[in-house]
């Protein structure tokens, strides 16, 4: 059964992070520069939270906070839902759907090893399904 480590082996395990003391403005700029929708928040080498576009919308813009004066720690999502590298892709998809989250940090024995998104999960599942379809197609037509 495919696991999260299979997704990370394809996409890589680069982690873009900020500290809780970073301003929301700088975090948003970093997200824009990197073309990503979320950042992990690291404090003392440990996963402290996650900061996403949804946090900006709900906890900064909607509450009319000044993004240059608001710290990430004040508006980040914590505690964080995470998974292990061995977690199945299907289990992650179900977890992300049930909890309505788009970013899932991957935490293994050595700590944070990457982040997967719902887009990563769906793309992986589509590739797996396409491989199965291709296999079945070749199987059926090679029998003729």
Per-residue DSSP letter, 9: H
**For the chain, which ranges sit under pLDDT 70?**
142-144
Quick one: pLDDT at residue 143? 60
Query: Domain 4-142, what fold?
Result: CBS-domain (3.10.580)
State the DSSP string of 74-125. Answer: HHSB-SPP-B-TTSBHHHHHHHHHHHT-SEEEEEETTEEEEEEEHHHHHHHH
Of the candidates 106, 32, 41, the residue with the CA atom closest to the CA atom of residue 74? 41
Q: Are strands 103-108 and 111-117 parallel, antiparallel or unpaired?
A: antiparallel
Rounded Cα distance, 136 and 39, in Å: 40
> Is residue 38 within 8 Å of 102, Cβ to Cβ?
yes
Spell out the domain ranges in the chain.
Answer: 4-142
What digits encode the pLDDT tens for the residues 14-38? 899 999 999 999 999 999 999 999 9
What is the pTM for the complete model shown? Answer: 0.84
The whole-number pLDDT of residue 141 equals: 72
């Amino acid at each position: 059964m495919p696991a999260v480590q299979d997704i990370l082996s394809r996409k890589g395990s680069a982690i873009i992070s900020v500290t809780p003391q970073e301003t929301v403005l700088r975090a948003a700029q970093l997200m824009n520069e990197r073309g990503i929708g979320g950042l992990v928040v690291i404090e003392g080498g440990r996963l402290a939270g996650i900061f996403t576009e949804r946090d900006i919308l709900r906890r900064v813009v909607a509450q009319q906070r000044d993004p240059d004066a608001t710290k990430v720690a004040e508006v980040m999502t914590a505690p964080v839902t995470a998974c292990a590298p061995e977690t199945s892709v299907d289990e992650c998809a179900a977890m992300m759907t049930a909890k309505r989250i788009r970013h899932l940090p991957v935490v293994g024995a050595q700590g944070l090893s990457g982040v997967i998104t719902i887009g990563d999960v769906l793309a992986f599942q589509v590739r797996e399904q396409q491989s199965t379809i291709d296999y079945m197609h070749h199987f059926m037509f090679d029998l003729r």
